[in-house]
Amino acid sequence: MSNTVMDKPPVNSPLPPTTLKQPRLPRWAPVGIALVSVGLGVGLGLVAGWESRVQWGLIAALLYLLITYVLTTTIEGKRQAKDRFATSLVWTSFLVAIVPLASLIWETIARGSKVVDGYFLTHSMFGVPNMSEGGGIYHALIGTLQQVGIATLISAPIGLLTAIYLVEYGTGKLAKAVTFFVDVMTGIPSIVAGLFVLSFWIIILDFGYSGFAGAMALSILMMPIVVRSTEEMLKLVPNELREASYALGVPKWRTILKVVLPTAIGGITTGVMLAVARIAGETAPVMLLVFGSPSINTNPFEGEQSSLPYYIFEQWGAGNDPSYDRAWGAALVLIALVMILNLAARGIARWKAPKTGR
């Protein structure tokens, strides 16, 4: 019994000796580095006399990434350096992405809030010359609400039923063809949809310009979005729920109506609202089909109307200070409208979503 095992030389492992404790940067390090690099960026910009703030920001961002990487490599090691580098890259990208969005909203609120008041919301542009103050968006607001409302009434049911067909019934060639054409429709430019309705409804069938004609073009744009989002939501409903319902002796149509749709209703509502938000900002079909009008027309089926995007286009084109102000005001109202719709959709989605609480 010799002690051969003990006599063996220790194995030369390529791995470093295992210690659990390693030097770490303090918790405030990322914030500190960010402050330092912003300071450096601003300082450099001032010293060199660069005018552009964008340049300052980019230099600060690059410095931040560089300092983080170098500092962590020397103190914490390679792996941690990569980790921190990736984290700071994510943060920097997030900030870069948020800048245009925030400045857009800031600009619109700053310029638009000057003109938006009760008078602006309740009066039309009838008899108001472009270069003078006053006037409002009441006619455009009515136009937008009516056109978008009619477009939603047309395309939401058709889109919903199409999606139900594709997910629950469709098999084989017809379903494939429908999916293909829905994909193609998603890519239709709004001006093409407008031209189609113009040539069909106004030139061939000889109807006049109206909000309804615009709504038809808008519904062409909206339908594929509704189909796509509803389809995805219906696919998320587990098959087990459908089978559970069939096993109770419930017919397929009732299963879809009472089990599948309620389970997916939150996502479907959100999808429809996103589609509404998308078409609320369309200008081209309105220019072609609704024609624009400075006076109030509450009948969407006859005569010219206006809409918020068209109003913005028109006022900006007028080219003087009061009309610029009105354009910004209308832009603010449009953004607020879309945002309210989105919030409402989220509220409905949360209220209707499957409940998991005890």
Partner 1 sequence: MAKRIDVSGLTAFYGSHRAIDDISMTVEPRSVTAFIGPSGCGKSTYLRTLNRMHEVTPGGRVEGKVMLDGESLYGPGVDPVAVRRTIGMVFQRPNPFPTMSIYDNVAAGLKLNGLTKKSELDTVVERSLRGANLWNEVKDRLNKPGSGLSGGQQQRLCIARAIAVEPQVLLMDEPCSALDPISTLAIEDLIGELKDQFTIVIVTHNMQQAARVSDRTAFFNLAAIGQPGKLIEIDDTERIFSNPSVQATEDYISGRFG
Judged by CB under 8 A, does residue 54 bind partner 1? Answer: no
Residue 190 or residue 230: which is nearer to partner 1 going by CB? Answer: 230
Q: Which residue has the tokens 């430019």?
A: 189
Residue 90 or residue 174: which is nearer to partner 1 going by CB? Answer: 174
Minimum Å distance from CB 175 to partner 1? 12
The DSSP H or E segment spanning 347 is: helix 321-352
Calculate the alpha carbon distances from 29 to 67, 74, 200, 207 in Å. Answer: 11, 14, 65, 68
Residue 8 or residue 358: which is nearer to partner 1 going by CB? Answer: 358
Going along the chain, which residue ranges are E strands?
A: none
Judged by CB under 8 A, does residue 350 bind partner 1? Answer: no
Q: What tokens does 299 get?
A: 């009948």
Minimum Å distance from CB 270 to partner 1? 16
Contacts of 70 (CB under 8 A, 6+ apart): none
Closest CA to 266 of 274, 22, 93: 274
Judged by CB under 8 A, does residue 358 bind partner 1? Answer: yes
Judged by CB under 8 A, does residue 262 bind partner 1? Answer: yes
CA 218 vs. chain centroid, Å, equals: 18
Q: Which of 12, 51, 248, 321 is close enough to bind partner 1 by CB under 8 A?
A: 248
Residue 75 or residue 178: which is nearer to partner 1 going by CB? Answer: 178
Contacts of 67 (CB under 8 A, 6+ apart): 33, 36, 37
Minimum Å distance from CB 266 to partner 1? 10
Q: Looking at this protein, which amino acid is placed at residue 2?
A: S
Minimum Å distance from CB 253 to partner 1? 10
Q: What tokens does 141 get?
A: 């607001």
Distance, CA of 119 to CA of 136 (rounded, Å): 7
φ, ψ (nearest 5 deg) of residue 142: -60, -45
φ, ψ (nearest 5 deg) of residue 337: -60, -50
Closest CA to 202 of 222, 221, 216, 218: 216
Judged by CB under 8 A, does residue 250 bind partner 1? Answer: yes
Q: Which residue has the tokens 């319902």?
A: 245
Binding mask 98-137 for partner 1 (x = CB under 8 A): ----------------------------------------
Judged by CB under 8 A, does residue 263 bind partner 1? Answer: yes
Judged by CB under 8 A, does residue 172 bind partner 1? Answer: no
Minimum Å distance from CB 247 to partner 1? 4
Q: Which of 258, 317, 339, 343 is close enough to bind partner 1 by CB under 8 A?
A: 258
Judged by CB under 8 A, does residue 169 bind partner 1? Answer: no
Q: Which of 39, 254, 298, 340 is close enough to bind partner 1 by CB under 8 A?
A: 254
Show contacts with partner 1 in window 215-244 (CB under 8 A): 238, 240-244
Residue 204 or residue 247: which is nearer to partner 1 going by CB? Answer: 247
Q: Looking at this protein, which amino acid is placed at residue 226?
A: V
Q: Which of 245, 269, 270, 293 is close enough to bind partner 1 by CB under 8 A?
A: 245
Angle at 120 between CA 141 and CA 330, to 5 degrees: 50
Distance, CA of 199 to CA of 211 (rounded, Å): 16
Judged by CB under 8 A, does residue 176 bind partner 1? Answer: no
Judged by CB under 8 A, does residue 270 bind partner 1? Answer: no
- Residues at the contact surface with partner 1, assessed by CB under 8 A: 171, 238, 240-251, 254-255, 258-259, 262-263, 352, 354-358
